[in-house]
Amino acid sequence: MLETPPDPATRPAGLAPGVPALLGLRGIAKYFPGVIANEDVSLDVYAGEIHALLGENGAGKSTLMNVVTGLYQPDAGELILDGYGVQFAGPDAAIAAGIGMVHQHFKLVSRFTVAENLHLGWGETPRRLSPRALEARADALSAQFGLPIRSNATVETLSAGEQQRVEILRVLSRGARLLILDEPTAVLSPVEVAELFRALRRFRDEGGAVIIISHKLDEIMSLSDRISVLRHGRLVGTHRTAETTIPDLVTEMIGRPATLDESYPRSVPRDMAAATPMVLHGVSARDDRDVIRLHPLDLELRAGEVLGVAGVTGNGQPELGELLTGLRAPSGGMITLNGRDVTGASARVFSHNGVGHVPEDRLRHALAPSLSVADNAVLREYDRPPVGGGGRFSATQAADFARTLAERARVMLPGVHVAIRALSGGNQQRLVLEREIRIASAVLVASYPSRGLDIGAIAAMRAMLAQARDRGVAVVLMSEDLDEIFALSDRIAVLCAGRLMAVIDRSEADRDRIGALMSGRTEGSVAA
C-alpha cells in the first residue's frame, strides 16, 4: 500500500524547522471481518500541542487510538515515537513509552478510594503503605499536575468530573507525555469542562501532547491547536484550528454540508388541551443509600408534546427517569399512567402500558453488547408476537424484526447476527431509539440521547423524537445541551439539587432564565 505522508503545510504554527513529531503514524490500517476500520492513515502529533481527532461515529477514531495505545496491532503501517519505529505488544508497553489514554467509560474501582485507584497496577507502588501514605502520595500528584482530588473519598461518591480527574492522574502519574482522551466532556458540567480545559492547556504548555476525540465542535475550536478529520476510516484532512471553520469540518466529516435545525415544526398543530398520559402527584425519590435525590414534585406529561428537562448532570435527572419508567419506586407521592395508579409498579408494567425508555448509558442499560443485533432488537418484545409468546421464541422472526427496525431507523447493518457492539455508537443509538419508539404508545423518556453522537446521528435522533411527538406521544427529553432543549421542547422543566425549580412554556423561556434556574435561583429572584 502506498502511504500518504502528512502535509508539511499543516505542521503546528510557529514550530521550528526540523523539530520531529513526538508521535508519527505512517500508512496505518486496521481491518475487521467485513469492516475497514482504518486505511492509509498518516499524521503527526507534536509535543506542546492539543490535536483534535474528528469524524462521524464509526469513522475509525477510537480504533486508531487503540492501535496507538497497543490495544490493537495494525494490519499495515508503522508507529514512530521520537523518530524511531515502535510496536507495542499491549497497553502496558505504550504506557511505559509515555502514551496513555483516558476512555469515555471510566475504568475505576467504585468501592476503592481515589488514592487506592491511583496506585492500582502501578509497579512503583510500595507493597505495604498505610492509607494515609497512599493519600499523601495522591495529594502530591494532584498538586504536581494541577488536578484537584479528594484522595480519601471512595470513587462511587465522586461526580463524573472528579472521576475523570482521577483517570487523568492515573495516566500522568505513570509518566505520560502523550495523553489521549475519548469524548472527555460528554458527562461533565460546564464548570467541570472549564476545569478540564485548564488542566489540558497547562499540560500542553509544559511540553506534553494531547489527542482529544470529540463531537463537540465548538469546544474543539476553542481548545485545540490542530484538527484531523477521519471519514470511513481514512484521513481526509489535517488543519490548523485557526485556519478552518466548523462548516468546513462538518463537510469533511460527513461528505456534505450539514447543520442542526433550530426548531422542528409540527406536522399537526399543538393541542393545548391534550390528554395527560402520565401525571406525578407529590412524587419524591431516594437513592440506593436512602439519600433524598428528588424532593416532592408535581408534573404532567402531555400527549403530542416534548417536555425538556434542563439541569446540570446529577441534579435528580437519573432518579426522575427511573420514576417515569418504573425502574425506581417513589419514596412518596403517586404516579398515574393512562388514568391508572401505577405507583410502585414494575418496569414491565410501565413498558406494557406504552412507556419507552432511552437510558443515558446505552451499553450498560439499553443493550447487551455481546449479543447480536437481532437479540438486542427484541429485548423488549421477546415475549410478544410475532417473535415470542406462549412459551416459544422464533429466531427467524427476531431476525426479520431486526431488519425492519434497522430499515426504519435508516441503519445499514453488516448483518443481524453480528454483535451489536460492532456497530458505531450512532447506529446503536438509532436502533435503541426506534425500538423504544415502537413501544412508546403513551410516553417516551429519552435521557441524553445525543451524548457522544456526531452531527449526522444527532440530526437523525432529533427528527425521530419530533416524529414521535407528532404521533401523539408524550416525549420527555433530558439533556445538558440547551440548544437541543430549545430546539425540541414545548415546555421546559428545570431541576436543581433535586428540586423542580419551574416548568416554563418554550415561548416564554430564554437561555438566561433557564441558566439562572439551573444554578438554583428561584423564579422570583430571576424576575428581580
499: domain CATH number is 3.40.50.300
The runs of H, that is alpha helices, within 102-159 are: 114-119, 131-145
Mean pLDDT to the nearest integer, 312-341: 94
224: in domain: yes
The parent domain of residue 157 ranges over: 108-176
244: in domain: yes
Reply yes or no on whether the pLDDT at 160 is more than 80: no
381: in domain: no
Contacts of 485 (CB under 8 A, 6+ apart): 308, 310, 477, 479, 492, 514
CA dihedral 154, 157, 163, 166 (to 10 degrees): -30
CA dihedral 367, 368, 369, 373 (to 10 degrees): -80
Say whether both 69 and 42 belong to one domain: yes
Say whether both 304 and 434 belong to one domain: yes
- 123-132, 193-202, 292-301, 387-396 — which is least confidently predicted? 123-132
Say whether both 182 and 149 belong to one domain: no
Q: Which of 258, 288, 304 is the last residue of a domain?
A: 258
Mean pLDDT to the nearest integer, 464-474: 95
Say whether both 347 and 455 belong to one domain: yes
- Supply the pLDDT for residue 105: 75
| Alpha-carbon span 456 to 508, nearest angstrom | 30
Cα distances from 425 to residues 269, 378, 402, 452, in angstroms, run: 34, 19, 17, 8
Say whether both 159 and 189 belong to one domain: no
- Buried b / exposed e over 395-430, threshold 16 CB at 10 Å, is eebbbbbbbebbeebebebeebebebebbbbbbbbb
Say whether both 185 and 76 belong to one domain: yes
Say whether both 451 and 495 belong to one domain: yes
| Alpha-carbon span 150 to 157, nearest angstrom | 10
* pTM of the entire predicted model: 0.70
Q: 468: number of CA atoms within 13 Å, CB side?
A: 35
Say whether both 128 and 216 belong to one domain: no
* Domain count of the fold of the chain: 3
Q: Which of 176, 203, 232 is the last residue of a domain?
A: 176
Which of the four pLDDT bands, split at 50, 70 and 90, describes residue 426? confident
Say whether both 221 and 363 belong to one domain: no
Which of the four pLDDT bands, split at 50, 70 and 90, describes residue 524? low
- Supply the pLDDT for residue 157: 84
Say whether both 82 and 137 belong to one domain: no
21: in domain: yes
263: in domain: no
- Supply the pLDDT for residue 3: 64
454: in domain: yes
Which of the four pLDDT bands, split at 50, 70 and 90, describes residue 2? low
Say whether both 217 and 94 belong to one domain: yes
Contact 114, 149 (CB under 8 A): yes
- 387-391, 430-434, 437-441 — which is least confidently predicted? 387-391
Point out which residues pair with 38 in neighbouring strands.
30
Which of the four pLDDT bands, split at 50, 70 and 90, describes residue 265? confident
Query: How far out from the chain centre does Cα 232 lie?
Result: 21
Say whether both 429 and 511 belong to one domain: yes
Task: Output the 3-class SS for 423-487.
Answer: CCHHHHHHHHHHHHHHHCCCEEEEECCCCCCCHHHHHHHHHHHHHHHHCCCEEEEECCCHHHHHH
Residue 432 cell numbers, joined: 435503541
- Supply the pLDDT for residue 126: 63
Q: Which of 142, 160, 176 is the last residue of a domain?
A: 176
375: in domain: no
- Supply the pLDDT for residue 353: 96
309 vs 456 pLDDT, higher one = 309
2 vs 64 pLDDT, higher one = 64
13: in domain: yes
Percentage of the chain with pLDDT > 90?
62
